[in-house]
Amino acid sequence: MASNRTFTMVKPDAVAAGHTGAIIDQIIKSGFKLVAMKYLFLSPEKAGQFYAVHSERPFYKDLVAFMSSGPIVAAILEKDNAIEDYRKLIGATDPTKAEAGTIRNLFAKSIDANAVHGSDSDENAQIEGSFFFSAFEQF
């Protein structure tokens, strides 16, 4: 994946609350192009693999349970400066600290049910995107 790409998920809380359409709309209106998108249910095993980088953190078990509690939307996004711009668009991990107008400020309920995921580096965007999508599913 080129460095102008990032990976996102609409997390189970936001999907369940009916915010998928509004979030995808905000992403597109903010200048990101959809390269790939999927609606799916992560098994606890798959969620655990995805967040393996956090396996030593105290919230890991809860995070895995939450991410496998309902369907998610996974997507690869393209834009110049995608990683940084998307982190700016989603806002801080803790929604009470997320800037006004950011996706987490608008749609997240708590630090764990925080509406969306965004990759934190080019390397992780590549790893995370290919966790969900083959080359044939990216346009």
The residue ranges that bind Mg ion (CB under 5 A) are 120
When asked if residue 6 is in the footprint of ligand ATP (CB under 6 A), the reply is: no
| CB of 120 or CB of 122, closer to ligand ATP | 120
Residue closer to Mg ion by CB (options 59, 139) is 59
- Contact between 63 and ligand ATP per CB under 6 A: yes
Contacts of 124 (CB under 8 A, 6+ apart): 7
Query: Coil, strand, or helix at residue 40?
Result: strand
Which of 110/139 has CB closer to ligand ATP? 110
Q: What SS3 state is found at 44?
A: helix
User: What contacts 11, CB < 8 A, 6 or more positions away?
Assistant: 66, 67, 72, 113, 114, 115, 116, 117
Given a contact cutoff of 8 angstroms between Cβ atoms, the answer to whether 24 and 36 are in contact is no
CB of 110 to ligand ATP, least distance (A): 8
**In the chain, at which residue ranges do the beta strands (DSSP E only) sit?**
5-10, 33-40, 72-78, 116-118
Is 117 labeled as catalytic in the residue annotation? yes
Compare residues 79 and 117 and give the one whose CB is closer to ligand ATP: 117
114 interface partner picked from Mg ion, ligand ATP, none, CB below 5 to 8 A per type: ligand ATP
**Number of residues lying near ligand ATP (CB under 6 A):** 10
| Whole-angstrom distance, CA of residue 109 vs CA of residue 132 | 25
Question: Which residue among the candidates 11, 19, 104, 117 is catalytic per the annotation?
Answer: 117
Q: Is 85 in the site for ligand ATP (CB under 6 A)?
A: no
Residues assigned a catalytic role: 117
Residues binding ligand ATP (CB under 6 A) = 54, 59, 63, 93, 111-112, 114, 117-118, 120
